[in-house]
Amino acid sequence: MYKFLFIFICLGSQANAQTFDFAQKQLAVWEMAKKRTLAVAEAMPQTDYYYQPAQGVKSFAQQIAHMTNSLKSMHTRFILKQPYSSSEKEAGTMGKKQLVAELSAAFDMVLKDLPKLSDTQLQETGKTHGAFPLTKWQSLLFMQDHITNHRAKAVLYLRMKGIRPPQYGYN
């Protein structure tokens, strides 16, 4: 009986010593999110980039600028725990090429830092969002959700202009 208990305790402690490596597992997810988001951004012709389906909502270009600023802001504040003082750029003064390049660079910022994050670091509280604090791994999931939300809106804009959006799939 004691021998069995000893083996069980040893195996349990070995299992606890292993890491999950959340950041490494998320790397492919973020690379795919970048690829899919850039494909949506590229699908809209320059001539329709400032399309706004209704008054009071963001134009397609503003959706792209918003995703860019949100990635930079949330990554800087939630993951790096640094102040972020930049504001969202006025999309109306930017062309498609610049907007897409800046969106790509914002994804690259996250992708560059992601592999450096250990499971221990990801369990730290990042910055409080709304009424509750988020751990860094929760912040990464929140960032993905936010990008997916705005990418989906951009897809709707493409459809409203009669443009077939890039195919969606998880892998």
Q: Is 165 helix (H, G, I), strand (E, B) or coil?
A: coil
Please give the average pLDDT of every successive group of 10 residues along the chain, which has 171 residues.
47 56 90 96 97 95 96 92 84 92 97 94 79 86 94 97 88 51
Query: 71: which 2 tokens?
Result: 């990635």
Q: What is the pLDDT of residue 8?
A: 45
Q: What is the pLDDT of residue 70?
A: 94
Give the architecture (CATH level 2) of 21-160.
Answer: Up-down Bundle (1.20)
Cβ atoms of 68 and 106 within 8 Å: the answer is yes
Q: What is the pLDDT of residue 3?
A: 52
Q: What is the pLDDT of residue 13?
A: 47
The pTM of this model reads 0.84
Return the ∠ at Cα 150 (arms to 118 and 158), rounded to 5°.
135
The domains of the chain are located at: 21-160
